[in-house]
Chain A
Amino acid sequence: MAGVANIEFKGVCVEYGKYVRALTDVSFTVEKGEFVFFVGRTGSGKSTILKLLSREVQPTRGTVLLDGLDVSNMPESDVPSLRRRMGIVPQDFGLLPRKKAWENIGYAMRAVGKRRIEVRKAIEPILENVNLAHRADAFPTEMSGGEQQRLAIARALINSPQLILADEPTGNLDADHSIEIITLLQELNQQGATVLVATHDLMVLEKFSQHRVITMEKGQISHA
């Protein structure tokens, strides 16, 4: 996973309507290859930071730069190629229950234009990367929470991303599975990917205290 992920937020504000402020004047940088936790209560703005990078949300004011590229002012037509540079792990896993594990990966690959033969070759290494090769034929409903989350991470790897955005990846998991998932993300980080994780799981923060933590409170950075 070679490449550069250099993130810079400059005075970013996000407002929903007149009265709801998700972020207020947020500025920070993340260097390539970093592993960063965004911590805070529900509604503190940590998920919004990840969504700004994937352009699911646009800032009301300020600038979001990824590798020097202004993500906030990017034309809509460039958003798909932006998202192919990152792996997004949503909070709810976002798996297709009627498709097997390998089909979930294959479907995403087909959606980004990969040919059937390319999909066949790529699926096994991707599932091996998240230790799920032995569960390739299982449906998501037959998998544990930890396995489902690993499958969601596997799907995020289909474009060999330089940046991984994980929104509450341990939110639905018990302690053991939470550690397993963060360890997996840590391994991907060691392979070169920049990893940003939004979480409110204090156990995870204690266990992986070697990583940088940015604390959010009421849409502002309270501690970086």
Chain B
Amino acid sequence: MLDRLEFLVSEAFTALRRNTWMSFAAITTSCMALFLLGGMAFAYRGIAGYAETLPSKLEVRVFLVDKRTDFETKQAMEQIGKLKGVRRVALVTKAEAWAKLQREMPDITKGISNPLPDAFNVSLSDVDEANKVATSIRKMPIVEKDGVKYEGETQALLSQTLTLLRWVGSALGGLMLLTSAVLIYNAIRMTIVARRREIRIMSLVGATRSTIVIPLLIEGIIQGAIGGLIASFLIMAGHQLLIRLMANFAGFIRVGALPLILVFGSLVALGALYGLICSMFAVRDPRGIA
């Protein structure tokens, strides 16, 4: 068994050696395709992860009119609490808010009377529901005109970024995958042409189809896997670069750690699978194989 495997693998490496430039082209293109797809996937994953943590950071501030009863305030709190996407509602009185502001900005607040209204702090459990929650609250009679404030822009920006990443990643990655599919296919067909003498001899002496085809499939797998491996290193380098760049823009988005095993494992496996599929197409047509 090992003896046989050694023969088949050595045949594949012989083909790779003979077809150096075509193999190089196939490896680099599949590498770029996997780099784009993998890079986009991991960027998407990072931003989506950040978006998941956003609801706890994102609060809707609701300023209330002065003329209202305690019953109306309690009733409004109950109604808001029942809205979809709302996790918690808390009443912050004008006195509490002013005391906090005085602590944080003593110079600005010194010598003036409290101008702040009472307010609700509404915590969200789902960022996507922020607009609907705000619209529902605005309709309430105890809410000031234009008295609903939240960071809708942040949510919209994140949503747009995720959609853009999805489209750009899919389009560019798909295009590169298609190109590398053609190149891997061509590399295997070139191997068949370059090795037609060996393939003919194998066929004449009675080698089975699998003996002829398996080295060609191994060749495709190796090309795809090497492409995936190089793409993993590129993503790792890109991640390091991103960390250094983002260090200059402190605060808003932190670059998370890269799951190295997942990156290397998935891209090498994906590349190998991809190479296998492409080479299976290349050897499917028996006219090229004696």
Contacts and interface: CB of A to CB of B under 8 A. Distances in A.
A84 B206 contact: yes
B181 to A, nearest CB: 27
Contacts of A107: 198, 201
Contacts of B198: 96, 107
A110 B202 CA distance: 9
Interface in A75-104: 76-77, 80-84, 88, 90, 94, 96
Which 10 interchain pairs have the tightest Cβ spacing? Answer: A84-B206, A83-B206, A111-B207, A111-B202, A108-B205, A80-B206, A88-B204, A80-B208, A115-B3, A110-B7
B209 A96 contact: no
Given A82-B206, A94-B197, 12 more contacts: A83-B203, A83-B204, A83-B206, A90-B200, A90-B204, A110-B7, A111-B205, A111-B207, A112-B206, A112-B211, A113-B208, A116-B3
A105 to B, nearest CB: 10
A108 B206 CA distance: 9
Contact of A83 (B7, B197, B205): B205
Interface string B181-220: 0000000000000000110111111111101000000000
Contact of B205 (A84, A115, A116): A84
Interface residues of A, number: 24
A83 B205 CA distance: 6
Contacts of A156: 205
B4 interface: yes
A198 interface: no
B180 to A, nearest CB: 30
A217 B4 CA distance: 46
Contacts of A96: 197-198, 201
Given A94-B197, A110-B7, A113-B4, A80 B209 contact: yes
B197 A54 contact: no
B3 A54 contact: no
A71 B207 CA distance: 17
The winner among A108, A110, A158 for most chain B CB atoms within 10 A is: A110
B2 to A, nearest CB: 10
Interface of B: 3-4, 7, 197-198, 200-209, 211
A82 B208 CA distance: 11
A24 interface: no
B15 to A, nearest CB: 13
Given A113-B4, A113-B211, A116-B3, A155 B205 contact: yes
Contacts of A6: none
A111 B198 CA distance: 10
A82 B204 CA distance: 10
Contacts of B209: 76-77, 80
B61 to A, nearest CB: 75
A68 B10 CA distance: 39
Nearest to A159: B206
Given A94-B197, A96-B197, A113-B4, A158 B205 contact: yes
29 contacts: A80-B207, A80-B208, A80-B209, A81-B206, A82-B206, A83-B203, A83-B205, A83-B206, A84-B206, A88-B204, A94-B197, A94-B204, A96-B197, A96-B198, A107-B201, A108-B205, A110-B7, A111-B7, A111-B201, A111-B202, A111-B207, A111-B211, A112-B206, A112-B207, A113-B211, A115-B3, A115-B4, A156-B205, A159-B205
A111 B199 CA distance: 10
Contacts of B3: 115-116
A115 B7 CA distance: 9
Contacts of B7: 110-111
A82 B200 CA distance: 15
Contacts of A82: 206
B43 to A, nearest CB: 48
B151 to A, nearest CB: 67
A90 B290 CA distance: 14
Nearest to B7: A110
The winner among B4, B207, B209 for most chain A CB atoms within 10 A is: B207
Contacts of A54: 204
Contacts of B207: 80, 111-113
A89 to B, nearest CB: 9
A77 B200 CA distance: 16
